[in-house]
Amino acid sequence: MKINTLSQLSKLREDGAAVCQLRESGIGGGSTAEILVGMATCGVAAGGKQTFAALERALRNRGLSHVRLVKVGCIGSCYCEPTIQVNIPGQEPVFYGNVDEDAAIAIVDSHLLKGNVLESNRLQIGYEKAGLNSKGQKKQQRIALRNCGSVDPENIMDYIAFRGYEALGKVLAEGNPEAVVNSIKASGLRGRGGGGFSTGSKWQATAQQPTGEKYIICNADEGDPGAFMDRSILEGDPHSVLEALAIGGYATGANKGIIYIRAEYPLAIERLKIAIVQAEELGLLGKNILGSGFDFTVELRLGAGAFVCGEETALIHSVEGGRGEPTKKPPFPSISGYLKKPTTVNNVETLANIPPIILNGAGWFSGIGTEKSKGTKVFALVGKINNVGLVEVPMGTTLREIVYEIGGGIRNDRDFRAVQTGGPSGGVITKADLDTPIDYESLKEIGSMMGSGGMIVMDDSDCMVNIAKFYLGFTRDESCGKCTPCRIGTKRMHEILERITNGEGVPEDLVKLERLGNTIKISALCGLGQTAPNPVLSTLKYFQDEYKAHVIDHKCSTGSCKGLLRYRISEEACTGCRACVKVCPVNCIHLANKPAYRIDSAVCTRCGACLAACKFDAVIVE
C-alpha cells in the first residue's frame, strides 16, 4: 500500500485514534485492553523478555488472550525496569515498575482479572501525558521523548496514530522550504549534540548553497559514555527521526539522508531498518512523497567504536569509509561535507524535536525554556542517584530540581558531591551551583557544558581526582592522534594524574596540569581535544583542596586512590592468628610486637587481601 495524498495519511491517523486515546488517557480507547512492555535495550537487559513471556503465558492461561501485548520503547525509568503500562478502555493507564516474572503474573491476576491495581509495583511517572496525570505540576515535559514507551517502534501505524508524518505532510503541502527553515529558526531550537548551534541557521547555511547534490546526516553516534538519550529515541520512536530527516532534507534541498549510528546499538539499528522499510512501503520515503514531487531516501551507516566519530567532520570521513579523523573548520559541513557537498549534520534528539515544532508552531516551542535556550533537554541521570533514568525537562530547570525532585535525591542518603554534565567534555557542578538554571550559557559560565545530556551524580565517596583521571583516560584513548596537543597532551595529563593517584604527585604537578590543560584547550584541532582538559580544569578549580591533599599529604579522603592507601595492623586488636600472613601475596607482614604483626608499607601492594582475611578487624586502612 502506498500513501499518495495527505488525506490518505489523515485517514490512517483517524483509524488509529482509538489506540492513541487508550494509551494517552484511556478515554474513548476502543474496546481492547492492552499491556505495553518496555523492550528497549535497557528493558531487555533488566529482564523485559522474561516479563513479556510471563505476561503472555499468564494471559493465555487465564483466558485473556484478547488482551494485546505490545512491545514499546522505554519510558526512562531505568531504576525500576522492567516497566509495563496497563491500558484498559475507559480507565486511566497504569504504570508498573520492577515487573519481574512474579510481578507480571501478579499484575495479570490482580489488575486485569480483578480490576485491582497492584499498588506494590505501581509507578508514578514524572511527566505529563496528554489528558492524564495533569493534576500535579510535573517537572518533566516530553517533546523529544513524546512517543517513547507509547508507540510500538516496529509498527509505523502506531506512529501515524500519534500524528506521525503529519508534519512532513504539512511541510510538503505548503511547498515552501524557506518557510520551514524560518520556522525552525524562529523556534530557537539549538543543536542537542553538544554544540548548541541554532538548528535553523545551520539548515539555512545548507539551503543557501547552490542547488545540486546535498545531504542531511543524523548523528546517532552517541559516544558520551553514560548517556543514552539518542538510543532511547531510536529504539522507542525511530520514525520521528526519519520524518525529521525528510523535513530537513526538504528544507535544505537534500534528497538523501544518512543515519550514522554506532555499532554498539544493535537494537536501534534493527528498528531503524524496519522503520525505513515500512516508511518506504507506505511511500513516506522514496520517490514523489505524498505526491509532492519531493524524493527522499535514508541510508544507514555504521560506526565501529570511535568516540571522535561523533565530531561532525570525523563522522563524515567515517561515512566515506575512512579513518574518523576530524578536519579543520571552516569549511563547515554545511558548505563542504559528505563527498565535499553541502551537508547538514543533526543530532538525534535535535531531529526528534522537529515534527512537534512544525505541528505546534515555532511560537509554542520558543515559549518553553529560557531566553536563549528554548524547549526541553533530555538528560541521562545516572550515578549515585535514586531514580536513575532518562528525564526530559524544560530548559531553565535547576539542577536541584533534577537531582532532588525528579531524581529522588542521593542514593543511600549520602552527601551530594558534584554532578558532571557534558561527559568527557564537560565539568563538575558543585553544591554551590545547584540552583543554576540549566541552559547552554549558564552551564558554560560555571565551567561545564550542556553536552549531549549525560548527567553523572557523585556523592562524597567519589574521589574527584580519580574521576578526572577517568575522563582523561577516556579522551586519551579516544583521541584520533592527528594533532599534537591532543595526541601527546592528553597522554601527558593522564600520566600526571596517574602519578598523583598513585601517591607520587608533587605540588608542581598541579601547575603543570593547569598549564597543559589551558593550552590544549586553545590549541587542539577539534572539539575533542579542545574540551578534553575540562574535567581536570573544573575539578582543579572546585576541588583544589582535594588535589592538594593528594600531592602534599598524599591522602585520598575517599579511599578511591588505591595507591594512596596505607594498610596498618592495630597492635591492640591483632591476635597473631596469621590469617593475613598467609594471604599476603608479597609476604610483607611480619611479626612485630608479639603477638601483633606489622605490615611493611614499602612493600605492600595494597591489594586488600589481609583486610578481607582478618577476622578481628585488626587491619586498618588509612
Ligand X SMILES: Cc1cc2nc3c(=O)[nH]c(=O)nc-3n(C[C@H](O)[C@H](O)[C@H](O)COP(=O)(O)O)c2cc1C
Please give the residue ranges that form the binding site for ligand FES (CB under 6 A).
40, 42-43, 74, 76-78, 81, 225-226, 228, 232, 389-390
Q: Which of residues 63-102 bind another protein (CB under 8 A)?
A: 78-79, 81
Give which of another protein, ligand X, ligand SF4, none residue 194 binds (C-beta under 5 to 8 Å, depending on kind): ligand X
Residue 37 sits in the site that holds ligand X (CB under 6 A)? no
Q: Which of residues 513-542 bind ligand SF4 (CB under 6 A)?
A: 524-526, 528-529
What is the side-by-side order of every strand in the sheet holding 343-347?
A: 297-302, 256-261, 215-220, 343-347
Q: Which amino acid is at 436?
A: T
Residue 453 sits in the site that holds ligand X (CB under 6 A)? no
The SS3 call for residue 140 is: strand
One residue of 210, 212, 328, 602 binding another protein per CB under 8 A? 328
Give the pairing type, strands 215-220 and 343-347.
parallel
The one segment of 123-131, 134-142, 398-406, 452-460 that binds another protein by CB under 8 A? 452-460
Residue 308 sits in the site that holds ligand X (CB under 6 A)? yes
One residue of 193, 253, 283, 303 binding ligand X per CB under 6 A? 193
Work out how close the CB of 123 gets to ligand X at its nearest, in angstroms, rounded to a whole number. Answer: 30
Residue 604 sits in the site that holds ligand SF4 (CB under 6 A)? yes
Q: Which of residues 324-383 bind ligand SF4 (CB under 6 A)?
A: 326
Grid cell in block for residue 208: 543557501
Q: Give whole-number Cα distances, 528 to 96, 423, 496, in Å.
A: 40, 11, 20
Q: Which of residues 533-572 bind another protein (CB under 8 A)?
A: none
Work out how close the CB of 90 gets to ligand FES at its nearest, in angstroms, rounded to a whole number. Answer: 28
One residue of 558, 576, 592, 620 binding ligand SF4 per CB under 6 A? 576
CB of 380 closer than 8 Å to CB of 228: yes
Cα-to-chain-centroid distance, residue 112:
34
Residue 188 sits in the site that holds ligand X (CB under 6 A)? no
Burial of 587 (0-12, 13-18, 19+ CB in 10 A): exposed
One residue of 17, 197, 286, 473 binding ligand X per CB under 6 A? 197
DSSP string across 289-307: GGGSS--BEEEEEE--S-G
CB of 380 closer than 8 Å to CB of 403: no
Task: For residue 53, count other CB atoms closer than 10 A to its CB.
Answer: 13
Residue 526 sits in the site that holds ligand X (CB under 6 A)? yes
Residue 310 sits in the site that holds ligand X (CB under 6 A)? yes
CB of 69 closer than 8 Å to CB of 55: yes
One residue of 90, 175, 481, 559 binding ligand SF4 per CB under 6 A? 481
Work out how close the CB of 232 gets to ligand X at its nearest, in angstroms, rounded to a whole number. Answer: 14
Cα 600 to Cα 463: distance, rounded to the nearest angstrom: 26
Q: Which of residues 463-482 bind another protein (CB under 8 A)?
A: 467, 470-471, 474, 476-482
Under DSSP, the state recorded for 550 is: I
Q: Which residues of 479-514 are buried (b: 16+ CB within 10 A; e: fewer)?
A: bbebbebbbebbbbbbebbebbbebebeeebbeebe
The one segment of 269-277, 293-301, 474-482, 542-550 that binds ligand SF4 by CB under 6 A? 474-482
Grid cell in block for residue 25: 488517557
Q: Please tell me the count of residues contacting ligand X according to CB under 6 A.
A: 23
- Helix runs in 149-228, H state only: 156-161, 166-174, 177-187, 199-207
The one segment of 5-13, 289-297, 432-440, 523-531 that binds ligand X by CB under 6 A? 523-531
- For residues 202 to 241, the per-residue mask of contacts with another protein, x marking binding by CB under 8 A and - elsewhere, is ---------------------xxxxxx--xx---------
Give which of ligand FES, ligand SF4, another protein, none residue 423 binds (C-beta under 5 to 8 Å, depending on kind): another protein
One residue of 524, 551, 565, 584 binding another protein per CB under 8 A? 524
- 322 vs 595 by CB, closer to another protein: 322
CB of 599 closer than 8 Å to CB of 588: yes
Grid cell in block for residue 515: 598549564
Cα 294 to Cα 169: distance, rounded to the nearest angstrom: 11
Task: For residue 7, count other CB atoms closer than 10 A to its CB.
Answer: 11
Cα 476 to Cα 320: distance, rounded to the nearest angstrom: 25
Under DSSP, the state recorded for 308 is: G
Q: Which of residues 329-348 bind another protein (CB under 8 A)?
A: 330
The SS3 call for residue 231 is: helix
- 221 vs 433 by CB, closer to ligand X: 221
- 138 vs 491 by CB, closer to another protein: 491
Give which of another protein, ligand SF4, ligand X, none residue 347 binds (C-beta under 5 to 8 Å, depending on kind): ligand X
One residue of 527, 540, 580, 589 binding ligand X per CB under 6 A? 527
Cis before 82? omega within 30: yes
One residue of 219, 353, 397, 538 binding ligand X per CB under 6 A? 219
Burial of 616 (0-12, 13-18, 19+ CB in 10 A): middle
Grid cell in block for residue 205: 547555511
Contacts to ligand X by CB under 6 A: 191-195, 197, 199, 219, 221-223, 308, 310-312, 345-347, 350, 452, 526-528
Contacts to ligand SF4 by CB under 6 A: 308, 326, 479-483, 486-487, 524-526, 528-529, 567, 569, 574-580, 583-586, 588-589, 597, 599, 604-610, 613-614, 616, 618-619
